[in-house]
Structure 1
């Protein structure tokens, strides 16, 4: 005989088993997504390394002649070619190289002192990583506040001035910007200090003038608060300008100081500042334009108008309501720029004599050092693909709708 409790348990059974089934289906979907992405990454890296090996074959010159010397006999050159494995077909060399890479061995350089490729990459990769991260950080530090300031009053005086400066920064190549920065910061540091101090005075005067104009239309209590805040901001700007003028560091012309060197972190930051700034100026101008355009569109949305109607401050609206939904394009552009700078800062590294990955690749291509170029390109491609995956994850964090769609 079936009781009421049994019927109740039977009624609960489908609903109780449906939830674990959905969880298992969701886990299987995530596992398939992760597996598909890993396969995609492996295929892309395999194609990149294969194309790189084929292109190296087309580069004119014979590494065996370079190693043996121009006065070597044909027999000596043939012996060197046999020792280095250059007498094998390109496909056979690539197959041997990729099998060694799977086991974690990137090979050895073809040229004396026959350094391990892994050691060469590990000694130069931190320099490129630091240069790229500092450059992107400086670009975002310049672009985000200026973009918010321009988006508040599009077409205004500040927007026009900043837009013209951004256009000039985009039009100047990185190598020319590097030379200009060397001329100003290394050979004319007193001019830079004077300009910074004058800029601080101008900003403080503008803050005070804007506060006085705003205070004329406010009540007595609000007027005191506005003037007090303006006085604090102006004093902080003047203090920062005075400190920069008094304690502006001496920046080196060339060379790189590692953290482990006797000069420490201070010397490291001084040696990396100018090359990072040379890369950051054009990238920051692009970030500025992208973020400004998106923020202008977001400021016209209904939820922003509702926030203003509720009496929220402009600072709260910009930082909490507008910046986050407006940063999708900025994240995409920043991610692409970050990946491009990892392998594209060759000229800047050469100007400042930085021992980075770009210099390593150029030297390897010039000498037809196959293991060095293949290993360096594979590492750079892995970093670039990893950054793209990180961008996808950032999208899901910023927009919950993307997480729901993926589920």
Structure 2
């Protein structure tokens, strides 16, 4: 890493404090009134309990053991990126980034006739051609023949080729690290990190912080942080997602073969969806931030638009499915500031919810459930699906 990672005892607090500082330094404002408007809206109250349970982690696969299940969940979390390629993926496959990554992992699960593609050794065999084959995407673009007028030739290139290269590089690198360290697969490493967290007895350091620290330090594709104006912003979206995925998949099992971390106090898993939606809903206010003036024109915050977004979903909207819209492209600095703002906004939303009396369940909202609601409602409602999302390519972190 180009900059130091926080110690396990300060990992969660560093995520929160670095995010708040980044938001404040960028002059991004979040008002209590805007948060209360969201929490009291029909859009939130009617859908929260249903939609926050839509985690996308139900897997139609038959596992030979909980460790095999853990390995698949771990690889799914490792590859939980590609949001910047949402539009070309929809054009090619009719599905977004998450659904395409799920199908890729399913194909890896069933497609290794000679080699277990989910093993450390098998991951290293997943070159660009194999990943493109498993994803069933076209990674060629047509270009004019340089010598023959009117003739075109297929050449490797285009956005989906970029995505395939990113996926292949993460799989190969992680497989090499695992094999070098003596782990048969990613699940074996994750199980060991979970056990190390459960054994940890130092005060002020929770089991989940030890687990996250081990994961982040060992695997570069989980080191989701960035320097802006000389200060680090710690997000660690995929690592937090994996920790909570483990609690969802195994938390109800009476005696799993590995410890299940306590994710009740972890912050949200900030990707590009959360800040996009919170900006459209008027919770994150970019109007005073010099860094985001150029993209404000892409965000319509008219009273009529907000009233529509805060209303309960109508059947007409529910059935009116259309392709997603391209959102504003942002820089690496901008997206980390936006993700930090979303993380901090969710802290403030949960804090405000604890002050409210009605309905009775609202005081008990957890960060993870709020994350799941924001992520899922963005897909659940047709009008929300049409909202442009901040987009950045060439990253393996979201």
TM-score when normalising by structure 2: 0.27
Structure with larger Rg? 1
Greater relative CO, 1 or 2 (CA 8 Å, sep 6+): 2
Higher strand share: 2
Higher helix share: 1
TM-score when normalising by structure 1: 0.26
